[in-house]
């Protein structure tokens, strides 16, 4: 599935991922600035914070246990659409997923 990252200044970056990949992995593998993923996906850093587009929030699934607490540590204040991108896993129904990036991660 394709993930469309939208930077804080409005640029769109389209990346091809595989089902089962996390959104964080797709961003890091494609050198998308704006997602760091410092802890490698173990929900310990919040440097993979993203805002899932409101059209996609239901298909992205719900937050995992502990995710809301970790989002409070993010550099940019979380919103209702905030997710840790390492906890959002792609499936075929998520082709075209739109993810907005915060202005900063640290
Ligand atoms: Fe660290 Fe997602 S990569 S919390």
Residue 86 CB less than 6 A away from ligand 1 = yes
Residue 24 CB less than 6 A away from ligand 1 = yes
Q: Which domains does the chain have, with CATH numbers?
A: 2-100 (3.10.20.30)
Instruction: Check residue 4 and give its pLDDT.
Output: 98
The residue whose two tokens read 């699934």 is 61
Instruction: Give the model confidence (pLDDT) of 33-75 as tens digits.
Output: 999 999 999 999 999 999 999 999 999 999 999 999 999 999 9
Ligand 1, atom 4, residue with closest C-alpha: 43
C-alpha distances (whole Å) from 93 to each of 43, 90, 96 are 24, 8, 9
Instruction: Give the model confidence (pLDDT) of 73-106 as tens digits.
Output: 999 999 999 999 999 999 999 999 999 999 999 9
| Dist. CA 64 → ligand 1 center (Å) | 12
Instruction: Check residue 74 and give its pLDDT.
Output: 98
Rounded CA-CA distance 29/72 in Å is 26
Instruction: Give the model confidence (pLDDT) of 9-35 as tens digits.
Output: 999 999 999 999 999 999 999 999 999
pTM, two decimals, is 0.97
Question: Which atom of ligand 1 sits closest to the CA of residue 37?
Answer: 3
């Amino acid at each position: 599935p394709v993930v469309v990252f939208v930077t804080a200044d409005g640029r769109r970056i389209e990346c091809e991922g595989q089902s089962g990949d996390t959104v964080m992995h797709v961003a890091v593998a494609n050198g998308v600035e704006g997602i760091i993923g410092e802890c490698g996906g173990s929900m310990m850093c919040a440097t993979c914070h993203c805002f899932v587009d409101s059209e996609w929030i239901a298909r992205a699934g719900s937050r995992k246990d502990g995710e809301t607490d970790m989002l409070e540590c993010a550099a940019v204040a979380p919103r209702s659409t905030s997710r840790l991108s390492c906890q959002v896993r792609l499936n075929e129904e998520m082709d075209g997923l739109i993810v907005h990036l915060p202005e900063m991660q640290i």
